[in-house]
């Protein structure tokens, strides 16, 4: 009986760990509707959503299951690069819940690139690169329900994939 229990625990861990360790590529996240209308990126154990407007940045932090990660006690920094490569450094401060904000003298254009670094209590420093006005990816997966991806349910009545295998949403290698 003890051996059966050990085998069950081992098999449970063996199937759970790869799902936890695998993340999403920027290409996949570009197909996902972000909760606040921003751009999503993966950064270590987090999903970061950047909502960028002229002079204002909002950064929302969640885990890979889309649960809010509190930002209280944390800090962050954004480097906003314009088309000439000029950098504007913007401190990000916790506001409430999973939100950090920053402001500065910058314009968001299609050429703007924003690099974000976040330090949250209990986690290593994480960073991500955003192109806020980049066009959304147009792939067949763009209509895919993001939460369903994490649950790995097979709802044939919810998805019509015409026999395609969409359990593998492209490579899960990280673009670091």
pLDDT in tens, 61-113: 999 999 999 999 999 999 999 989 999 999 999 999 999 999 999 999 999 99
Q: How far apart are CA 109 and CA 98, in angstroms?
A: 26
Residue 156 or residue 118, greater confidence: 118
CATH for 34: 2.60.40
For residue 48, the cross-strand partners are 41, 61
CA distances to 17, 18, 80, 108 from 30, rounded to whole Å, are: 25, 22, 20, 18
pLDDT of the residue at 13 = 42
Between β-strands 56-63 and 75-81, what pairing exists: parallel, antiparallel or unpaired? unpaired
Domain that residue 90 falls in: 25-151
pLDDT of the residue at 26 = 80
User: The pTM is what?
Assistant: 0.66
CA 12 to chain centroid: 26
Q: Which residues contact 55 (CB under 8 A, 6 or more apart)?
A: 103, 104, 105, 106, 107
CA distances to 40, 61, 62, 156, 169 from 23, rounded to whole Å, are: 12, 15, 13, 24, 11
pLDDT of the residue at 37 = 94
| 19 located within any domain | no
| 160 located within any domain | no
pLDDT of the residue at 133 = 85
> Is the pLDDT reported for residue 21 higher than 60?
no
| 161 located within any domain | no
- pLDDT, one tens digit per residue, over 25-74 is 888 888 889 999 999 999 999 999 999 999 999 999 999 999 999 999 99
CA angle 116–119–123, rounded 5-degree value: 125
Residue 140's pLDDT band, with cuts at 50, 70 and 90, is very low
Range in 49-63, 123-137, 139-153 the model is least confident about: 139-153
| 174 located within any domain | no
Domain count within the chain: 1
| 72 located within any domain | yes
pLDDT of the residue at 24 = 73
């Amino acid at each position: 009986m003890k051996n059966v229990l050990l085998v069950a625990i081992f098999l449970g861990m063996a199937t759970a760990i790869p799902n936890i360790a695998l993340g999403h590529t920027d290409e996949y996240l570009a197909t996902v509707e972000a909760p606040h209308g921003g751009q999503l990126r993966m950064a270590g154990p987090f999903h970061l959503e950047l909502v960028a407007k002229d002079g204002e940045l909002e950064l929302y932090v969640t885990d890979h299951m889309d649960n809010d990660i509190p930002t209280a006690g944390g800090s962050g920094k954004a480097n906003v690069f314009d088309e000439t490569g000029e950098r504007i450094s913007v401190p990000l401060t916790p506001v409430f819940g999973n939100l950090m904000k920053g402001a500065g003298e910058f314009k968001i254009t299609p050429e703007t690139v924003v690099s974000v670094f976040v330090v949250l209590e209990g986690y290593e420093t994480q960073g991500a690169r955003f192109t806020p006005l980049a066009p959304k990816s147009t792939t067949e997966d763009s209509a895919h329900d993001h939460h369903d991806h994490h649950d790995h349910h097979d709802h044939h009545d919810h998805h019509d994939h015409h026999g395609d295998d969409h359990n593998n949403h492209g490579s899960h290698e990280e673009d670091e």
